[in-house]
Amino acid sequence: MKALVLVALIALGAVSARAEVVVSHGLSAFGDLKYPADFSHFDYVNPQAPKGGAIATTSVRANQTFDTLNAYSLRGDPPMGLSAPENLVYDTLMTTADDETDAVYGLVAAHAEFLPGGDWIIFEMRPEARFADGSAVTTEDVVFSFESLKSDGAAPRFRLSLRDVTGAEALGPHRVRFTFAPDAPKRDLPMLVAGLPILSKAWFEGRDFGAPSMEQPLGSGPYAVEKAEAGRSVTYRRRDDYWARDLPVNVGRWNFDAITVEYFRDRSAAIPALQARVIDLHESFSSKEWAVDYDFEAIRDGRVIRETLPDLSPSGTQGFWFNTRRPHLSDARVRQALGMAFDFEWSNRTLFYDLYQRTTSFFQTTAMMAEGEPSPEELALLEPFRDRLPPETFGPAFTPLVSDGSGRNRQALRAASRLLEDAGWFLDDAGIRRNEAGEALTLEIFDDSSAFERIVNPYIQNLRALGVEASWRLVDAAQNQQRTKDFDYDVTIARFSVGATPGVGLRNFYHSSSADQPGSYNLSGVADPVVDHLVETMIAAPDRATLHVAGRALDRVLRAMHIWSPQWYKASHTVAYWDKFARPAIKPPYSRAILDTWWVDPAREAALAARAQ
């Protein structure tokens, strides 16, 4: 698995000579790797999978449009396929295994060398690595990529995560060293830098890294952009000359000759597109769509298959996120009251066909999900901050009230009304909530999907019953994305997951350093020293047990802050596809694995063609 070797490190200036250094083909947060150094392929692929054919599908990302092929700048929105987790174009030093929670294995890097907990890591790169134009992938490109992703023009998720990576240095054409801040937690930093996309330094010469562009990027990955029409579609073409096609991490993967991602102004257009074979596969994110809209001939005669694929990855958290930057939403009592107006049980029975479960945690379906009273270990983390935390933090973890599903959730509305009065919002003669200054309590909810309107309108009716001047606005995808980036909203709708081993990425969601960073995922504007401390405790956790305890403590604090009204989740992918595909016998637990492990079955495709005649 891993080898311990003795090497001289005087030149590194980091430790004394003859210190023990780990040389490893892979990395994981806590050192546990499933695959040995001589593994031939991942267990969840078919190493004999044929290459060929094409797939056209819809985006699984929240953004339903795109206007740039520069995937890593703050400005513009890229299409699916140019960045993780569906990165088709850019190779990385190491790549993930989807049957492990946090392991990565050598891709451009043959191995890594590091001191456990040390201030540096060295990657030995494969000299055969090439960009799509045939030029060599060198350490200069790795250094350029790191420096660009840490620059002001890069997306905040990189700048914030890379805060504690102090530098990257080319030790030669194929050896690169990253250094870390001496006092920073080191657990996640090696994997973080191992997963950075490698961009071509030469290609970016004379180009503004932070500028949006529809110019096709130069990558070194299994696919290249063949054509793209902003806001409409992007097609990736498999590279026959891909330098890493036979590496163990790629055997049995990247089987489609072409992958097309289609974008629609409205998600509801995807079903007619599937029916007309404009697309081959679609994942539904609407319960109504899944329950009602798949009623056409190809479904009934079996040419289109509907299937529910299990998903063991963390369900994360989805909800109505309240913008605490807005003065009228700065009081936790107001936010709690507004959240209580959402009747999940009625919505699930009436609107969702009982397909969902209620989200209650920011770490849903993981060991970091707080339940019941805090454990002694959790209390040990929380007690030093008792005077700064709401008393409910030290009791049973907050969970939303459960209604009878009748749609007449009077108990919740009465409790919400009391909270609003406690916060200084009283009903006037017209039934409108106003504060001492006479300002009305208003709330605008917006989204770019008309599918949400039927869900939000009953919520708005309940809010109006409380005296809140609530409204719903359907905006176009570009406006939705820009307003979200600029934190220009009262309430926004989003789903996030931070994985089974959350690390430095948590800063992008809940840390004060991201609260005022446009484009960050800190949608509610959380800027709290206790939250910061717990986030950093999770990042520095030396083992999974410590990580889980700190995660549960953070979960309790965030839930007591009422920064969101939780919505729902399902631990599965609901997909429909034309019966032209084959796939491995094993599905990895932490990924759909459709684009990288499925393939076109020529016999099935021929059978479909024959039936169409």
The band of 12, judged by pLDDT with boundaries at 50, 70 and 90, is very low
Q: Is the pLDDT of residue 19 over 80?
A: no
pLDDT, tens digit, 9 for 90 and up, residues 223-267: 999 999 999 999 999 999 999 999 999 999 999 999 999 999 888
pTM of the model: 0.89
Q: Is the pLDDT of residue 2 over 70?
A: no
- Answer whether 361's CB lies under 8 Å from 559's CB: yes
CA distance 34 to 349: 42
CATH class of 20-204: alpha beta
The whole-number pLDDT of residue 13 equals 35
Over residues 317-324, the mean pLDDT reads 97
Q: Is the pLDDT of residue 11 over 60?
A: no
pLDDT, tens digit, 9 for 90 and up, residues 146-197: 999 999 888 888 888 999 999 999 999 999 999 999 999 999 999 999 999 9
Q: Which residue has the tokens 């009077």?
A: 410
Give the residue extent of every domain in the chain. 20-204, 223-236+258-310+571-612, 317-569
The band of 62, judged by pLDDT with boundaries at 50, 70 and 90, is low
Computed over every residue of the chain, the mean pLDDT equals 93
Q: Is the pLDDT of residue 9 over 60?
A: no
Task: Assign residue 275 a region (left: φ > 0; alpha: ψ between -120 and 50; beta: otherwise).
Answer: alpha
CA distance 353 to 372: 29
Q: Is the pLDDT of residue 499 over 90?
A: no
End-to-end alpha carbon distance in the chain: 55
The band of 451, judged by pLDDT with boundaries at 50, 70 and 90, is confident
* Matching fold, domains 20-204 and 223-236+258-310+571-612: yes
CB-based contacts of 320, cutoff 8 Å, min separation 6: 339, 342, 445, 459, 491, 492, 493, 564, 565, 567
pLDDT, tens digit, 9 for 90 and up, residues 454-471: 999 999 999 999 999 999
Over residues 125-133, the mean pLDDT reads 98
Percentage of the chain lying above the pLDDT 70 cut: 97
The whole-number pLDDT of residue 96 equals 96
CB-based contacts of 314, cutoff 8 Å, min separation 6: 363, 364, 365, 366, 497, 498, 499, 500
- Answer whether 83's CB lies under 8 Å from 71's CB: yes
CATH match of 317-569 with 3.10.105.10: yes
- Architecture of the domain made up of 223-236+258-310+571-612: 3-Layer(aba) Sandwich (3.40)
The whole-number pLDDT of residue 387 equals 96
pLDDT, tens digit, 9 for 90 and up, residues 369-421: 999 999 999 999 999 999 999 999 999 999 999 998 888 788 999 999 999 99
Q: Is the pLDDT of residue 18 over 50?
A: no
- Answer whether 560's CB lies under 8 Å from 393's CB: yes
Q: Is the pLDDT of residue 28 over 60?
A: yes
The band of 63, judged by pLDDT with boundaries at 50, 70 and 90, is low
